[in-house]
Amino acid sequence: MNPAATSGRKMHRSIRTAVIAAALIILGYWAIFAWMVYRSPLPYEAIDLDHDGSVSFGEADYVSSFGMRTIYRQGEECVEYFSQKDGHALKLVCPH
């Protein structure tokens, strides 16, 4: 067997493995991003914190760790969604 041919096959296999690994990393990134946006109780417009028309990974990550607390507005019990990272309000839901 020709040593040069064997070396070429190994290099081809290494390149193919690297391309597949890179594709899986990119696919995983987008899958995590989509899951964070999907599981958020907020509408897409509220997740877009800087109102530029698109949601970045950072924005999705920020709103993905949220909490809920009961607050009273004008004597009415409401639910406020807030960021657990810094406590800022993300969305307020009142019955009326």
- The rounded Cα 25 to chain-centroid distance in angstroms is 14
β partners of residue 92: 80
Which pLDDT value is given to residue 6?
66
User: Residue 7 — very low, low, confident or very high, per pLDDT cuts 50/70/90?
Assistant: low
Say if residues 2 and 10 touch (Cβ distance below 8 Å). Answer: no
Tokens 């924005």 belong to residue: 59
Average pLDDT, rounded, for the chain: 86
Contact, 55 vs 38, CB < 8 A?
no
Looking at residue 54, the DSSP 8-state letter turns out to be S
Given a cut of 70, whether residue 5 has pLDDT beyond it is no
pLDDT for res 3: 61
How far the first Cα of the chain sits from its last, in Å, is: 80
* pLDDT tens-digit series, residues 41-73: 888 888 888 889 988 888 888 888 889 999 999
